[in-house]
Amino acid sequence: MIDGAREHRVVTDDGVELAVVEAGDPLRPTVWFLHGYPDCRDLWEPVMSRLKERYHVVAYDTRGTGRSTSPAGPARAGYALERLEEDFLAALDALAPYGPVHLVGHDWGSVQGWEFATSARLQGGLASFTSIGGPCLDHAALWARTRLRRRSAADLRALLGQGLRSWYITAFQLPRLPEALWRGPLAHGAWAAVWRALERTRVPGHPAPTLARDAANGLWLYRANTRRRSRAPRADRVAHVPVQLVVPEHDPFLSARLYDDLDRWTPVLRRHTVDAGHWLPLTRPQALSDLITEFVDAVRVGSIPSVGRDHRADPPSAFGRGHPHFRRSEGA
């Protein structure tokens, strides 16, 4: 638990209660965290604890996870990205009604973040977006279509590589079996072993006792969104805020090639490659906290020089060696 944290309940228009936590001075800039799958807001505790003295930090459990309740209606509609945007707007009105927030998303939290950072409804509500381990579904689908159209050897290798990494997306479409696995062996020790193997670390695995429920309910994120967006990707999803892309170098699920076309969708983009696995908020919280701080402060003062395409984030002890690189691309 974050020292000095304050708990809130936000009720959405379809009756879901979102469990929100905040810490720090509400008069300071707000940094808002969105968790991914199969996580809950507890994922962000190591980072929020490091930033709460500098910023107002906020996170909530996505519907159906952690301390939040589940939607009562059809699950597919209840977990659509459009519905999740309504949740975010409700929480934003309750916890940060007076100014734009700096959004940070991981995994499905980053997928949601792309939805919000490209949504006309949230223009003025966001100040920046830091994306970690989760692409915009529309961008990803258009990336794949571009490579299928060109069919060069490099393009086909990139497609095959990402397809192999994304095998679980197809598996999650199966009825009942994924839920049974999560409520059975995965939630009772197997996931912790898998997590440590994937991350190549002895850092403790998933932090939440609600893992079985979180993972089973979260399957509907995939079922409600991935096929729909891959079949009809929207070509107008251009970010309306500066974006920081953090790419974990050893991510077993996402290839760095998936972001090759991101210049089209981000008029202001900063890239970082980090020596880490997928769950960067748990395994490298200090490094990630430093990246967020540097980016948020640079956006606040308008210091976003056009210098460099990619910046490799050094270990925390080396962060002071040089100014972080930003790149301003041409418009989409």
Is 148 part of any domain?
yes
Task: Express each pLDDT in 117-138 by its tens digit.
Answer: 999 999 999 999 999 999 999 9
Is 120 part of any domain?
yes
Is 104 part of any domain?
yes
What span, in angstroms and rounded, lies between the C-alpha atoms of 99 and 302? 17
Read off the pLDDT band of 329 (50, 70, 90). very low
Angle between helices 81-95 and 108-117 (to 10 degrees): 80
Q: Are 131 and 245 in contact (CB under 8 A)?
A: yes
Backbone angles phi, psi at 289, to 5 degrees: -60, -40
Task: Express each pLDDT in 270-281 by its tens digit.
Answer: 999 999 999 999
What span, in angstroms and rounded, lies between the C-alpha atoms of 88 and 255? 28
Question: Residues 16-37: what's their mean pLDDT?
Answer: 97
Taking the model in full, what pTM does it have? 0.91
Is 76 part of any domain?
yes
The pLDDT, as a whole number, for residue 84 is: 98
Q: What is the CATH number of the domain that holds 39?
A: 3.40.50.1820
Token code pair at residue 195: 């997590």
Query: Hey, which residues does 269 pair with through a beta bridge?
Result: 243, 327
Residue 315 has pLDDT above 60, yes or no: no
Would you call the peptide bond into 38 cis, given omega within 30 degrees of 0 as the criterion?
yes
Task: Express each pLDDT in 192-248 by its tens digit.
Answer: 999 999 998 887 767 789 999 999 999 999 999 999 999 999 999 999 999 999 999
Backbone angles phi, psi at 175, to 5 degrees: -80, 140
DSSP 329: P
CA distances from 32 to 4, 127, 283, 296 (A): 17, 11, 20, 11
Is 1 part of any domain?
no
Question: Residues 51-71: what's their mean pLDDT?
Answer: 98
**What share of the chain has pLDDT > 90, as a percent?**
84
Domain that holds residue 263: 6-328
Q: Which residues of 187-207 are buried (b: 16+ CB within 10 A; e: fewer)?
A: beeebeeebeebbebeeebbe
Task: Please provide the DSSP assignment of 221-271 as one string.
Answer: HHHHHHHHHHHS--TT---SS-EEEEEETT-SS--GGGGTTGGGT-SEEEE
Is 234 part of any domain?
yes
Q: Which residues of 261-295 are buried (b: 16+ CB within 10 A; e: fewer)?
A: ebebbbbbbbbbebebbbbbbbbbbebbbbbbbbb
Q: How many CB atoms lie within 10 A of CB 315?
A: 11
Q: Which helix (H) or strand (E) holds 84?
A: helix 81-95
Q: How many domains does the chain contain in total?
A: 1
Task: Please provide the DSSP assignment of 112-140 as one string.
Answer: HHHHHHT-GGGTTTEEEEEEES---HHHH
Task: Express each pLDDT in 256-299 by its tens digit.
Answer: 999 999 999 999 999 999 999 999 999 999 999 999 999 999 99
Is 133 part of any domain?
yes
**What are the start-end ranges of the H helices in 173-265?**
177-183, 190-199, 211-231
Residue with structure tokens 């981000």?
Answer: 266
